Amino acid sequence: MNIVVVGLNYRTTPVEIREKVAFLPSRLQKALAGLAALAVVQECLILSTCNRVELYAITSEIEDGTYAIKRFVADFHQVDEEEIQPYFYAYSGRNAVRHLFRVASSLDSMVVGEPQILGQVKSAYSQACLAKTNALVMNRLLHRTFSVAKRVRSETMICSRAVSIPFAAVEMVQRIFGGLAGKKILLIGSGKIGELAAGQFLNSGVESLAVINRTLEHAESLAEKFQGRAVPLENLTEQLTEVDIVLSSTAAPHYIIRSRDMEKVISRRQGRPLFLIDIAVPRDIEPEVGNIPDVYLYDVDDLQGIISSNLQSRRKEADKAEAIIEAEVRKFMNWQRNLEIVPTIASLRKKVEAICRAEVAKMFAALPGSETGHEEEIETMASALVKKLLHEPIHALKATRDQRGGHYYAEALRYLFALEPSGGDNGAAPKHGSDDE
């Protein structure tokens, strides 16, 4: 049983190729059924996001399995195999396990530490369960993956620092106010980044949201999304007097807020501080506004400073995460080796003990008379001989668990003693089923 992953991601593949091989949610069940139907595939899972397409499989043969999966991707999406072949990467065994752990822990993400990928991996596993393309190994691998990702998030600070403009804006405001509970926010403009930032502010506990846009209908649409209220542009000065935080992200070619207007606003605020975040390029707020007492003005460059600092911090935390992953990879590989070795040892003992019992029975039947008076002693001696004869090979087989390619020793032992093949009635899981943990 070999774990393999075949994939393409944002590092290896341009978006125009990724979109050709992306598995749409509506077709994912069909794709899983087709992948599982390949002769070399025992279990499988498909992870398809905007940044990566990865197919995980338990396969009998690494090279044949890898080739078959690549061919499947091309056939399923009806694209030229030669067109996508240069973009594929493939890992097997320990490297495949490590890759999945890193993906779920967001160490392989475009933005290290982003939280969305773990949910996407969980969703991919749920789809595999629904399609019944999961069994013992895939179940254990994914459950361990979730545990590893949880360890990385709880034992490191890799997810705690802002590395995007919306997150950085919230972090900066929290530094100034010490908390956002009860604060009022004004969003000027309805661009995507401003919308994301507004969502982050609301998630952080602000009291209310008002939206101003040159087109009132656009303001109303965005305000409805966040259960806020739309305000006409001509009421901007009034709103600046009332709110605590302003986030401006318009495409205006000129300043929306000027220092002469802000001085009037501040005189009405009676010493209450006003926090202004200008993420527009060109800027919406005249730089001189930042010189007015009780006004805190920050632009995109200020936020980028926070992002750069936090990225550096995340890289340090990533080193801690990598150490956690390496330890977890070793644990999983030991479990997988035991999956091969433990049934082999059990089968070997069962077969040799059966041969011993049969030979003792033959001897008793051949002896004159129905009783020898020494049956118990003979059976004890035979049992001791079995244990002594098996001690060294079993000890040597257990020692291979920590060796690369150790499962080949188990396969050789099964061949030499004509034992049942792994996956028979020795406790291994069927092709599709639920986890036995």
Encoded tokens for 357: 């019992």
Q: What is the DSSP string of 220-244?
A: HHHHHHTT-EEE-GGGHHHHHHH-S
CB 25 within 8 A of CB 77: no
50 is catalytic: yes
Rounded (10°) CA dihedral 226, 231, 237, 240:
-10
Selection from 205, 56, 227, 214 nearest residue 133 by Cα: 56
Tell me how many degrees the CA angle 29-333-395 measures, rounded to the nearest 5: 135
What b-and-e string marks burial along 195-228, b requiring 16 or more CB atoms within 10 Å of the CB? bbbbebbbebebebbbbbbeeeeebbebbeebeb
CA distance 33 to 131: 7
Where do the H-state alpha helices sit in 37-162?
Answer: 62-77, 81-84, 93-104, 116-131, 136-155
How far is Cα 57 from Cα 63, in angstroms, rounded to an integer? 12
Point out which residues pair with 4 in neighbouring strands: 57, 92
Residue holding tokens 């506990």? 205
DSSP 8-state secondary structure symbol assigned to residue 26: G
If residue 408 lies in a helix (H) or strand (E), which one and from where to where? helix 407-416
Q: Is the dihedral of CA 340, 341, 347, 348 positive or negative?
A: positive
Catalytic residue among 50, 129, 159, 356: 50
279 contacts 247 by C-beta, under 8 angstroms: yes
- 188, burial (CB in 10 Å: exposed 0-12, middle 13-18, buried 19+): buried
Q: How far is CA 387 from CA 112, 236, 256, in A?
A: 53, 89, 88
Residues tagged active-site? 50
